[in-house]
């Protein structure tokens, strides 16, 4: 398969690229570091990415930022940032990418455990993660040409916990998380939220 991985330079994206291995043609995309570039907050940038990549069999998004902070400290601009970046950035990868996908192709987006298991400080992150999951369930009902869409909802990744100075054994290694992206790309399901 010809697979675009957006966020290919990130922790999860790198693990997905490694897990996909040599059996596919991987198009690595990121904001600043990969061979192909996109800013998912910019519609024109997404359009030009798809023009550059040409037709693909799968689009993976392991990109998207959202801000953690106490609710009382989250301002209008913080919510706008989260909505424009992690939520609408990924939604727009789908809206503008349908034409680029070959028949039977798939989108795999990334939400996160804070959609289902919030914690203090996660209001904006939980909002966008839950929004993504709702979008994926609904969009799956309408995608044409047997296109599929799923969402991977990772728990805390071990390497991220280690980087935060926390116990990595409380998380899931990125290599394990990556297997859920493979299941989405290579399987037949659509409208699924793959929690890992
Ligand atoms: N790590 C975790 O524990 C965890 C848990 C649950 C959910 N998640 C979610 O999983 C996703 C990936 O997490 P991660 O830890 O792998 O992140 P990461 O290591 O920080 O990587 C982020 C990736 O996204 C790219 N990126 C950043 N801004 C972008 C933009 N505006 N347009 C296009 N690409 C952009 C970066 O590109 P450059 O390198 O070129 O800047 C990089 O490839 C995020 O949505 C995160 O919320 C992560």
Q: What is the pLDDT of residue 172?
A: 98
Q: What is the pLDDT of residue 126?
A: 98
Average pLDDT over residues 121-145: 98
Instruction: Quote the ligand 1 centre to 71 CA distance (angstroms).
Output: 23
**Relative orientation angle of helices 11-20 and 174-186, to the nearest 10 degrees:** 60
Q: What is the pLDDT of residue 173?
A: 98
Q: What is the pLDDT of residue 131?
A: 98
Q: What is the pLDDT of residue 26?
A: 98
Instruction: Quote the ligand 1 centre to 36 CA distance (angstroms).
Output: 15
Average pLDDT over residues 131-138: 98
Q: Does residue 157's CB lie within 6 angstroms of at least one atom of ligand 1?
A: yes
139-162 pLDDT tens trace: 999 999 999 999 999 999 999 999
Exposure string for 81-105, b = 16+ CB within 10 A, e = fewer? bbbbbbbbbbbbbbeebbebbeeeb
Q: What is the pLDDT of residue 194?
A: 98
Q: Whose CA is nearest to atom 39 of ligand 1?
A: 9
The minimum-distance atom of ligand 1 relative to the CA of 64 is 45
**Confidence band (pLDDT; 50, 70, 90) for 117?**
very high
Exposure string for 151-167, b = 16+ CB within 10 A, e = fewer? bbbbbbbbbbbeeeeee
Name the residue of 18, 29, 31 whose CB sits within 8 Å of the most ligand 1 atoms, as the mutation to test its pocket. 31
What percent of the chain clears pLDDT 70, i.e. is strictly above it? Answer: 100
Q: Does residue 37's CB lie within 6 angstroms of at least one atom of ligand 1?
A: no
The minimum-distance atom of ligand 1 relative to the CA of 33 is 40
Cα-to-chain-centroid distance, residue 146: 20
**pTM here?**
0.98
86-102 pLDDT tens trace: 999 999 999 999 999 99
Average pLDDT over residues 65-74: 98
Q: What is the pLDDT of residue 190?
A: 98
Q: Does residue 31's CB lie within 6 angstroms of at least one atom of ligand 1?
A: yes
Virtual torsion, Cα 103, 35, 66, 107, nearest 10 deg? 10
Q: Does residue 4's CB lie within 6 angstroms of at least one atom of ligand 1?
A: no
Q: What is the pLDDT of residue 137?
A: 98
Q: Does residue 63's CB lie within 6 angstroms of at least one atom of ligand 1?
A: yes
Q: What is the mean pLDDT of the chain?
A: 98
Average pLDDT over residues 106-119: 98
């Amino acid at each position: 398969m010809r697979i675009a991985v957006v966020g290919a330079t990130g922790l999860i994206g790198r693990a997905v690229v490694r897990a996909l291995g040599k059996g596919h043609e991987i198009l690595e995309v990121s904001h600043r570091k990969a061979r192909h570039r996109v800013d998912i907050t910019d519609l024109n940038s997404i359009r030009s990415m798809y023009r550059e990549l040409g037709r693909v069999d799968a689009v993976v998004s392991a990109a998207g930022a959202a801000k953690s902070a106490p609710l009382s400290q989250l301002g209008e601009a913080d919510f706008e940032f989260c909505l424009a970046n992690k939520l609408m950035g990924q939604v727009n990868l789908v809206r503008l990418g349908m034409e680029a996908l070959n028949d039977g192709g798939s989108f795999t987006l990334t939400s996160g455990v804070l959609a289902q298991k919030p914690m203090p400080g996660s209001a904006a992150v939980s909002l966008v993660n839950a929004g993504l999951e709702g979008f994926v369930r609904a969009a799956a009902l309408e995608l044409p040409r047997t296109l599929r869409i799923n969402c991977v909802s990772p728990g805390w990744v071990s390497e991220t916990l280690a980087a935060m100075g926390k116990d990595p054994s409380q998380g899931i290694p990125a290599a394990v998380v990556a297997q859920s992206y493979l299941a989405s790309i290579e399987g037949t399901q659509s409208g699924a939220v793959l929690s890992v």
